[in-house]
Amino acid sequence: MCGIGGRVDFGGRTSLEMKAIGMSMVAGMNHRGPDGFGVEVFGGEEDSIAMIMHRRLSILGLGEQGKQPMCSSDGRYWITFNGEIYNYLELALEFGLTTNTGTDTEVLLQLWSLKGVEAIALFDGFFAFAIWDTQLKELTLARDKSGVKPLYYYLEEGDEAGNKSVWFGSEDFALKQALELQGLEVSLSERALKSHLEEGASDRNMLFNGILELGMGCCLTYSCLESKLNSFSQRGCVIIKPWPSGDYLRLDDGAGWQRHLGLKKEPRNYIELLRAQLMSGMKKRLRSDVPIGFAVSGGIDSAALVGMAREIMGKEAHLHVFSVVAPEMDGDESEYQKSVVEHVGGIWHTVDVRKLDGKYLERYIKATHRIPVAWNNLAHFALCEAVKAAGVTVLFNGQGADELFGGYPHYYKAAFWNEKNTLWPVRKKWPVDFRSAGKQWFKALLGRWVGRPFETCADVLMRNDYYGERLAQLLRFEDRNGMACGIESRNPFADDYRMADAWLSAWGDDTWSLEGSLTSKLVDGYSKGYLRKAMDVGLVPAKVLWRVDKKGFSVPKNELTARGLVVWEDWILSDRLDGLVSRGRRAFALEKGQKARARAKKKTDEKNILLEFIDLNRGEEKLFDQLFRWAAMGCFLETFPCKIEGGADG
The Cα 504–Cα 519 span in angstroms is 12
Which residue type occupies 50?
Answer: A
Which residue type occupies 254?
Answer: G
Cα 376 from chain centroid (whole Å): 14
If you compute the radius of gyration of the chain from its CA atoms, what whole number of angstroms results? 25
Report the length, in residues, of the chain: 650
What are the start-end ranges of the H helices in 68-153? 88-94, 104-115
Which CATH code fits 256-545? Answer: 3.40.50.620
The Cα 586–Cα 592 span in angstroms is 10
pLDDT of residue 603: 56
Instruction: Report how far apart the first and last C-alpha atoms of the chain are (Å, whole number).
Output: 25
Q: CB count, 10 Å around CB of 570?
A: 11
Ranges of each domain in the chain: 2-239, 256-545, 557-645
φ/ψ (deg, to 5) at 81: -130, 135
pLDDT of residue 491: 96
Q: Which of 568, 575, 610 is nearest to 590 (CA)?
A: 568
The Cα 620–Cα 591 span in angstroms is 12
Averaged pLDDT, groups of 10, the chain, 650 residues long: 88 87 95 93 84 94 87 96 95 94 95 92 93 92 90 81 81 96 94 87 76 86 60 35 32 33 53 89 95 96 97 94 88 92 97 91 97 94 98 96 82 55 50 47 46 54 79 91 96 88 55 46 74 94 88 80 91 95 93 81 51 57 90 97 74
Q: DSSP states of 222-255 as a string?
A: EETT-S--SSSEEEEEEE--PPP-TTSPP-SSTT
The Cα 587–Cα 599 span in angstroms is 19
Under 8 Å CB-to-CB from 419, ≥6 apart: which residues?
Answer: 451, 453, 454
The answer to whether residues 322 and 349 touch, using CB atoms and an 8 Å cutoff, is yes
DSSP-derived 3-state class of residue 2:
strand
The answer to whether residues 153 and 232 touch, using CB atoms and an 8 Å cutoff, is yes
- What Cα–Cα distance (Å) separates residue 550 from each residue in 337, 383, 516? 12, 19, 26
pLDDT of residue 24: 95
The Cα 404–Cα 358 span in angstroms is 35
Under 8 Å CB-to-CB from 154, ≥6 apart: which residues?
Answer: 166, 167, 168, 175, 179, 186, 210, 211, 212
The Cα 137–Cα 6 span in angstroms is 14
pLDDT of residue 293: 98
- What Cα–Cα distance (Å) separates residue 413 from each residue in 97, 229, 405, 454, 519? 51, 48, 15, 10, 12
Q: DSSP states of 458-482 as a string?
A: HHHHHHHHHHSHHHHHHHHHHHHHH
The answer to whether residues 130 and 77 touch, using CB atoms and an 8 Å cutoff, is no
Fold of the 2-239 domain: Glutamine Phosphoribosylpyrophosphate, subunit 1, domain 1 (3.60.20)
